[in-house]
Structure 1
Amino acid sequence: VALGEACANAVEHGGAGGTPAGYRVTAYLDGERCRIEVADSGPGFAHTRGSRPARPDAEHGRGLCLIRELADHVHIGPEPGRRGTVVSFDKILKWRDDSPLLAV
C-alpha cells in the first residue's frame, strides 16, 4: 500500500509542466530492514513534517499520511544532486518461526 501511494504521488505530482512523470523505484533488504525509495524528476515541493492531514471527506491528500502510518521510518526530500523528490521508507521485517512464508 505504501509503495502504491508513493508511486501514485510520483505520477501525479512528479511531472514537469503538466506532463506525465517518470519515476524510479529502488528496493533492497539489509538484514531485517526493507528500504524502498521512489524518486521522480519533477519540480519537487516544500514538504513540512507538520502538514495538516486531509479532511475526512477529501478525495486526495492521504498518501503521505498512509506511508507514515505503514512504514517504520520515512524520509521525504529532494533528489540529491538532481531535480525531483525522493520518498524513502523502511519496514522492519520480523520473521517468526511459525510464519506461513517459512513453511514448506
Structure 2
Amino acid sequence: MNESQIATYRAQLTEALNALDRSDARGASAQKTVVLDQQAVGRLSRMDALQNQAMAKATGARRAAQRTRIHAAFARMDVSEFGFCEDCGEDIPLGRLDLDPCATKCVSCASG
C-alpha cells in the first residue's frame, strides 16, 4: 500500500472520528439521569424516558467502541502495519478496507 492510499484512509478515519464527536455532543443530553418526579411525569412517561436513556447509553457505547477501532487503525498506520492481516500477515484487499478502514483481518481469516 502506498502513502497516498494510507493518507486517503487516514482522512476517512479522521472524518469518521469527527462525526462520532458530533454525534456524542448531540446525544449527551439523552444520557443524563432520569429524574423521578411523579407529579411532572407519569409512570409510563418515566419508563419511556428510562428506555430512551438506555438506548442513548448503548449508542454511546457503540460510538466509543468505534472510536477505539479508529485509534487502533491510526496506530497501525504509524508503525506501517495498516492493511495487513493480523492473523496471516497477508494484504487486506483494498475493497475490504474501502468498506471498513478499521478492518484487521483479510476475508479468509475473518470468516474463520
Q: TM-score range by the shorter chain?
A: under 0.3
The structure with more helix, counted as a fraction of residues: 2
- Which is bigger in relative contact order (C-alpha 8 A, separation at least 6)? 1
Q: TM-score, normalised by structure 2?
A: 0.23
Higher CA-based Rg: 2
For normalisation by structure 1, the TM-score amounts to 0.25
Instruction: Name the structure with the higher strand share.
Output: 1
